[in-house]
Amino acid sequence: MDFSYTNEKNAQIILFLLKEHNIRHVIASPGTTNTALVSSMQQDPYFVMYSSVDERSAAYMACGLAAELGEPVVISCTGATASRNYLPGLTEAYYRKLPVLAITSMQALNKVGHLVAQTIDRSSMPADTVNLSVSLPIVKDSEDVWECEMKVNQAILELNRNGGGPVHINLPTTYSKPYSTKELPNYRVINRISTYDQLPNLEKNKLAVFVGSHKKWNEAETLALENFCELYDAVVFCDHTSGYYGKNRLLYSISAAQSLFSQKEFLPDILIHIGEVTGDYATKKMVGTEVWRISEDGEVRDPFRRLRYIFEMPEKHFFESYSAKKNNKTYFQRSINIVNSKNSYYTQLNKHLESTRSKIKALPFSNIWLASRMASHIPENSVIHFGILNSLRSWNFFELPSSVTAASNVGGFGIDGGLSSLVGASLANSDKLCFAVIGDLAFFYDINVLGNRHVGNNIRILLVNNGKGTEFRQYNHHAAYFGEAADEYVAAAGHFGNQSPKLVKDFATNLGYEYLSASSKEEFEATYERFITPKILDKPIIFEVFTDSAKESEALEQIQTLIASPKSKAKALIKETLGDSTVNSIKKIIRK
């Protein structure tokens, strides 16, 4: 049969993913805004179609059909009050956990509230009518495609999750014609795998585990990941908030951050994602074809834009299950041969990492230089908290002792609360040293906590005071476009004493802190050993180090250009010569 689909991308994504998730039964009600979807379904023999003029009846029909078949049923209606008539049937489906997918079509979402005929607000559904409600954009670019893929997969997966239930999708239309798409494009399918489901095959040449910020690991969890890495020759990409110090661990940020080097040959085939938000923006780019996310919450989280599977299970269960699959004699011997090989994935990446580190030369006086001098000397069994962005990034370039645990407020990723989190952590054990590395804006933002009467002598604060939000003055930051003008409002320079040598000193000493300071490498070298002494002293310490924003940027550029590949270096040179706007214009011409 010769048939055509709508050219509207958001509807195409729904059609493609319904088919990929084996959903075929549809009850359609008449209307204009749902013509693109319904007419496309009508021409595709895959779908089993039924008609119902009354939307209230259609929703109840879907309840009966879904209950009888034991599988999802789609209902489709147009704008105006049509969708309101779904509510009684969706309420029934909600309390009976029936997988009814209500797709309510409409005009563009931006018309809501502007007295446009047949356009009503569906942004809020009654709590006991659907388990999830999403609104799709009209697709204009790749960002809209990604959003549609995520939301449609999320909606479909929710139909059978936790016992199942109804789900709602708002689908805007542009009334596009003609219907000339002969074959649906491929869109990304995401599947959720639970503890008792059959596990997909994992036979790829290069596997990596990416660990975001993570709760403390216990011995059994570490062992499960170690065994998995040995059997599959997998590497574990970590930053300081990851907390993993087992086998095949790579603190890879310094290599991943090389802006003039192509990482293509080192990218994994599959990246296994565990943990939560990461502040390691550089290593986050080490993603290949697809990502497998493991999390007990089972939610659709796609920071890498490559999500393929969600494993709704404990990480330990995942790693042990895959190790058990491979742990027979044939596979085990093959795995041992791979790991022992000089060409193993871990060996290649570790060699590259060591080579990158060996290129580090004298760095300017900066947060990065401080990290290079102090990271390995933080006392054993200490805790260290990092301010977001510059401090965390700077210290992620260098190894801490394996017994040191690290944290950063990367959950909400704001500058507020860094010192308060440190104080809270220090209360757990007054005999454990608790360090912080924090910039001046974040320090002053949370300064009140330093007067808290529970502050103990186990606290050590390294204040890197460059007199502004130095992140906004880095050579590669978006705000660098404005140069010195960025200081006034974007980088918020000149506040809090404008690098006053007395402000923090007087504040700290009046509150009973020991105060140290340095404004150069020489002053630092003469002072820092007191700050990192492993003995708990009779006072908490604030060590204020005054740096220059220009040197901070210089240090970052130096550390991120240690090595270069010819192609990447050439691209950077062209971009620097022609400028961003010219390069973007050329790209558009080439695409055409």
DSSP tag of 83: G
Q: Per the structure block, which two tokens stand in for 30? A: 């008449």
Residues in the chain: 592
Which residue, 440, 447, 486, 482, is CA-closest to 463?
Answer: 440
324-338 pLDDT per residue, tens: 988 764 454 555 555
Instruction: List, in sequence order, the alpha helices (H) in 21-78.
Output: 35-43, 55-69
Asked if residue 245 lies in contact with residue 256, where contact means CB atoms within 8 angstroms, the answer is no
CA-CA distance, 371 to 253, in Å (whole number)?
14
For the chain, 592 residues long, the average pLDDT of each consecutive 10-residue run is: 86 98 98 96 97 98 98 96 96 98 93 86 91 97 97 98 97 93 96 95 93 97 97 97 97 97 96 97 95 97 97 98 78 51 87 97 97 98 96 98 96 94 97 98 97 98 97 94 94 96 98 98 98 97 98 98 80 62 60 52
- For 489-531, the pLDDT digits (tens) are 999 999 999 999 999 999 999 999 999 999 999 999 999 999 9
Domains 9-187 and 207-357 share a fold: yes
107-114 long-range contacts (CB < 8 A, ≥24 apart) are 107/33, 107/79, 107/172, 107/173, 108/138, 108/172, 108/174, 109/135, 109/137, 109/170, 109/172
CATH number for the domain formed by residue range(s) 9-187: 3.40.50.970
The dihedral through the CA atoms of 527, 531, 532, 536 has a sign that is positive
| Cα four-point dihedral sign 24, 29, 30, 35 | negative
pLDDT value at residue 275: 97
Q: What is the pLDDT of residue 329?
A: 44
- CB count within 10 Å of CB 586 equals 12
Half-sphere exposure of 584 (CA within 13 A, CB side): 3
Contacts 24+ apart (CB under 8 A), 260-263: 260/561, 260/563, 260/564, 260/565, 260/568, 260/569, 260/572, 261/563, 261/564, 261/565, 261/568, 262/565, 262/567, 262/568
Cα gap 260→138, rounded to integer Å: 37
Convert 171-187 into a string of H (helix), E (strand) and C (coil). EECCCCCCCCECCCCCC
Q: Is residue 540 a contact partner of residue 460, using CB atoms and an 8 Å limit? A: yes
Please state, in angstroms and rounded to a whole number, the distance separating the CA atoms of residues 386 and 574: 36
Beta strands in 448-495 (DSSP E): 459-465
CATH topology of domain 207-357: Rossmann fold (3.40.50)
Q: 367-556: which CATH number, 3.40.50.10440, 3.40.366.10, 3.40.50.1820, 3.40.50.970?
A: 3.40.50.970
**Contact, 167 vs 130, CB < 8 A?**
yes
Name the residue ranges covered by the structural domains of the chain.
Answer: 9-187, 207-357, 367-556, 566-591
